[in-house]
Amino acid sequence: MKAERTRQFLPEDHLYRVETEAFQRDTGGTSVAYGKCEIRCIPVISMIEPRLAKPIRLNTVFSPASPLSGLAEDLWTAMREDGASPQRSWALMEKIIEFAAQSEQRLLAQSGRIEQLERLCMTDELTGVLNRRGFLSALGHTLASATRHHEHGLIAVIDMDSFKVINDTHGHDAGDAVLKEAARILRQEVRTTDHIGRLGGDEFAVIFVRGETSGTRKRAARMTAALNNARILHNGLRIPMKASIGFVTYSPGVSPEDVMIRADRAMYRNKRQRQASRAADAEIAARQSA
């Protein structure tokens, strides 16, 4: 994209200045022109019209064929004409302000809708935490910040134990209740600056941002205890929840792929250890009852 021209409009009374800039871009062999506009007024004008206290910017490009482009050209012509009346210039100015205000309102509405759609694309519908895409995006930003600012932190990967058994025995509603309760516990035990995601199925992950401290370790221990001591009430039954969790630290320069592989391996080590411990406990109990 190349700039074709830049104009500054400044009337003799110096009450306001309008700047427009036109661009040209080739798109698929077709030359498309765009423009933008900014209106500045001297501070005393804000006493008369509060809307003019700050520069008025049209924060989106507009076609040269649009009403704003034509009005800007008319204003430019009127201000260059000898003896052009201030009333004519100010009338054109008011039209530009009105058009810019309307455009800004539309843009804000569109921006709000875009933000809402982005949140939906990044959020797990069932639990309300980040989905896999949202979590990996947060992880990428966190690790990039860690590299820039020499930060360290902690990553946890969580797998809900016996989730398939709960689904098969009590139904998918019970499984959904387990996932919702797990997400609630995670939100309760981490800071608002940390990130929680559901990676899929019964697997969650947490980023403890800048969290390689004793305080973070304590929060991680509380989170582990809470997940493994929780129960959900379903159809009059209290169903216990258990979780296997792997923790790894991250440091400057580490990649998202590397840290997630290490965290996943740590989680599976923890799961095997827990399974071996339960098997040993069962064997001891069987011997004692024999």
CA atoms in the 13 A half-sphere facing the CB of 269:
9
Type of residue found at 133 = R
96 and 167 assigned to the same domain: no
Instruction: Give whole-number Cα distances, 16 to 9, 47, 54, 80, in Å.
Output: 8, 14, 11, 15
CATH of residue 237's domain is: 3.30.70.270
Which residue's structure tokens are 């939906």?
120
CB atoms within 10 A of CB 80: 9
| Of 121, 154, 180, the domain-final residue | 121
| Of 121, 142, 161, the domain-final residue | 121
> Which two three-digit tokens encode residue 216?
């973070």
Which range is least confidently modeled, 111-120, 163-172, 181-190, 228-237?
A: 111-120
CB 182 within 8 A of CB 206: no
- Rounded Cα distance between 190 and 209, Å, is 10
CB 175 within 8 A of CB 167: yes
Which element (helix H / strand E) includes 156? Answer: strand 153-160
Q: Report residue 45: phi and psi, to 5°.
A: -65, -30
pLDDT, tens only, 113-150: 666 666 668 899 999 999 999 999 999 999 999 999 99
- Rounded Cα distance between 112 and 114, Å, is 5
Q: How many domains does the chain contain in total?
A: 2
Strand 56-57 versus strand 30-41 pairing type: antiparallel
74 and 161 assigned to the same domain: no
160 and 277 assigned to the same domain: yes
pLDDT, tens only, 14-58: 444 545 454 444 445 444 444 455 555 444 444 444 544 554 444
79 and 153 assigned to the same domain: no
- Rounded Cα distance between 287 and 237, Å, is 30
Instruction: Give whole-number Cα distances, 8 to 5, 46, 195, 251, in Å.
Output: 10, 21, 47, 50
| Of 87, 121, 155, the domain-final residue | 121
Q: Report residue 232: phi and psi, to 5°.
A: -110, 150
Which DSSP category does 130 fall into?
Answer: B
9 and 95 assigned to the same domain: yes
Q: pTM for this one?
A: 0.61
107 and 140 assigned to the same domain: no
Res 48: pLDDT:
45
Instruction: Give whole-number Cα distances, 49 to 9, 17, 41, 54, in Å.
Output: 20, 15, 10, 11
Q: Is residue 52 part of a domain?
A: yes
Q: Is residue 127 part of a domain?
A: no
276 and 168 assigned to the same domain: yes
Q: Is residue 126 part of a domain?
A: no
Write out the residue range of the structural domain in which residue 191 sits: 132-289
59 and 93 assigned to the same domain: yes
147 and 259 assigned to the same domain: yes
Q: Report residue 255: phi and psi, to 5°.
A: -95, 155
pLDDT, tens only, 74-95: 554 554 454 445 555 556 556 6
> Which two three-digit tokens encode residue 100?
């810019």
